[in-house]
Amino acid sequence: MPPSERPEPPSRMAAFRFWLWLGCVSFGGPAGQIAVMHTELVERRRWISERRFLHALNYCMLLPGPEAQQLATYIGWLLHRTWGGIVAGVLFVLPSLFILVALAWVYLNWGQVPAVAGVFYGIKPAVTALVIHAVWRIGSRTLRNAWLWAVAVTAFVAIFALDVPFPAIVAAAALVGWLGARVSPAAFTPGAGAGAHGGPVPASHAPALIDDDTPAPAHARFSFTRLAWVLGAGVLLWLLAMGVLVAWQGWQATLTQMGWFFTKAALLTFGGAYAVLPYVYQGAVEHFQWLSGPQMIDGLALGETTPGPLIMVVAFVGFLGGWQHQVLGPDALFAAGALAAAVVTFFTFLPSFIFILAGGPLVEASHGRLGFTAPLSAITAAVVGVILNLALFFAWHVWWPQGLGGRFDALAALATGAAVFALVRWRVGVLPLIGVCALFGLGLALTGR
């Protein structure tokens, strides 16, 4: 279409095909996923303008949960009401769920075959490097002053040395941000907005279907009645799902505890998947013992290589927990794993849909006034310290596979260092990095080393 003409509204089928395609190609973590959406929705299809896109993104980044999936849900809702939001959000994660269920089944059945074990040996240093790189990347963007550095260091000491639960760290950081903003407002004020690729927002652009000055459609106008309906429907859906699990298996059963645990995890994922992984580790590995520490690292590696948000690693956690705890009996292990993966995915993502469908009208009424809050700035700083603790945990398991009293794996440590160098110096992508490391591990296995 000519750049001067406003695009035609996409049909529901056209939108369905786009969101399904996006769910199948959304590799590269949130930054890559948001960049793809920006290219397709803002630049190519012009379904939404740059400023409206960034306004929606700012809101999604304020929320706990995967911001890329929430952004897809938001734009789908803006285009096609509740149906569009649910379809966009579900299709963003559904391909990843199916792929991770299949990979988890392969992992449990053939993970000890030498060649497969060699592949996992190679990718564990890559995953450790990715977490180390996340500390550097998020920290360099977040820790802008001494206040935020102090929050990050305190959070690291709290979780590393004092074993403080992650929810308590989030609550304390939010309180520090709220109080700190009154003592030193500038320290907790985020920087100005930028374009989706880090540059300034362009002053002019070709007309978009949802343009800068396009009035909010009727379904996107705020009303207390609609807010009550959405919140009520979301809570009722959660209660029905949890009620079925309790009535079927009891409160202490594995599936019920998974539903409750991942509901809490969904409300604590400020700062992305890397931030909530320590909490998932504390619960899934240490408390419930749904899987082991090394299995958690393997699951993160698989999550890094599949489309969809990285938090989809919870599907791997659920599959292994359902399989190993035999939630449907010893004769239905695959069904048990698949059911558990579906349960944790449902409870992890339900809050995201409620946040978008309930809060969207408020966002549409606040153009030019929405920004990061001071508590969120402090929480994000605390997340840096928490992720550093996660990096040390991964390095410990990869470099000392038999524990600190066992043999130091110098080859794994060297591979981790090389992977970090490749990420920082050459900015290698996630998939190429994991692919090279997997081939490295396979080569070691085939040569008997």
Residue 49, both tokens: 């303008």
pLDDT given at position 354 = 95
Nearest to 258 by CA among 325, 303, 335, 309: 325
- Check whether 37 has a pLDDT greater than 80: yes
What are the pLDDT digits (tens) for 340-359?
999 999 999 999 999 999 98
Amino acid at 444: L
Average pLDDT estimate for 222-237? 93
- Check whether 430 has a pLDDT greater than 90: no
Question: Using an 8 Å Cβ cutoff, are 25 and 307 in contact?
Answer: yes
Average pLDDT estimate for 191-208? 51
The residue ranking higher by pLDDT, 5 or 419, is 419
Query: Hey, which of 186-200, 211-225, 246-260, 384-398 has the most confident mean pLDDT?
Result: 246-260
DSSP string, 169-213: HHHHHHHHHHHHHHH-GGGGPPPPP--TTSSPPPS-----SB-TT
Amino acid at 174: A
Q: Residue 229 to residues 47, 103, 354: CA-CA distances in angstroms?
A: 28, 39, 11
- Check whether 367 has a pLDDT greater than 60: no
Residue 408, both tokens: 């130091």
What's the CA gap between 346 and 53, in Å, rounded? Answer: 26
- Check whether 273 has a pLDDT greater than 60: yes
In sign, the C-alpha dihedral spanning 380, 382, 388, 391 is negative
What's the CA gap between 42 and 35, in Å, rounded? Answer: 10
Residue 45, both tokens: 């299809």
The residue ranking higher by pLDDT, 271 or 433, is 433
pLDDT given at position 366 = 59
Q: Where residue 272 falls among pLDDT bands split at 50, 70, 90?
A: low
Lowest mean pLDDT, pick from 188-192, 264-268, 402-406, 424-428: 188-192
- Check whether 252 has a pLDDT greater than 60: yes
Query: Hey, which of 81-85, 140-144, 218-222 has the most confident mean pLDDT?
Result: 81-85
Cα 252 to chain centroid, rounded: 27
- Check whether 210 has a pLDDT greater than 50: yes
What are the pLDDT digits (tens) for 281-339?
889 998 999 999 889 888 887 887 778 887 889 999 999 999 999 999 999 999 999 99
What's the CA gap between 347 and 341, in Å, rounded? Answer: 10
pLDDT given at position 13 = 95
- Check whether 194 has a pLDDT greater than 50: no
pLDDT given at position 221 = 87
Q: Where residue 3 falls among pLDDT bands split at 50, 70, 90?
A: low
Q: Where residue 371 falls among pLDDT bands split at 50, 70, 90?
A: very low
pLDDT given at position 330 = 93
Lowest mean pLDDT, pick from 78-87, 112-121, 246-255, 290-299: 112-121
Give 221-226 contacts, CB < 8 A, sequence gap 24+.
221/361, 221/364, 221/365, 222/361, 222/362, 222/364, 222/365, 223/361, 226/361
Q: Where residue 197 falls among pLDDT bands split at 50, 70, 90?
A: very low
Q: What are phi and psi of 271, to 5 degrees?
A: 90, 5
Lowest mean pLDDT, pick from 71-80, 203-212, 380-389, 394-403: 203-212
Rounded CA Rg of the chain:
22
pTM of the model: 0.73
pLDDT given at position 86 = 97
- Check whether 369 has a pLDDT greater than 50: no
Question: Using an 8 Å Cβ cutoff, are 308 and 419 in contact?
Answer: no
- Check whether 152 has a pLDDT greater than 50: yes
In sign, the C-alpha dihedral spanning 269, 91, 340, 102 is negative
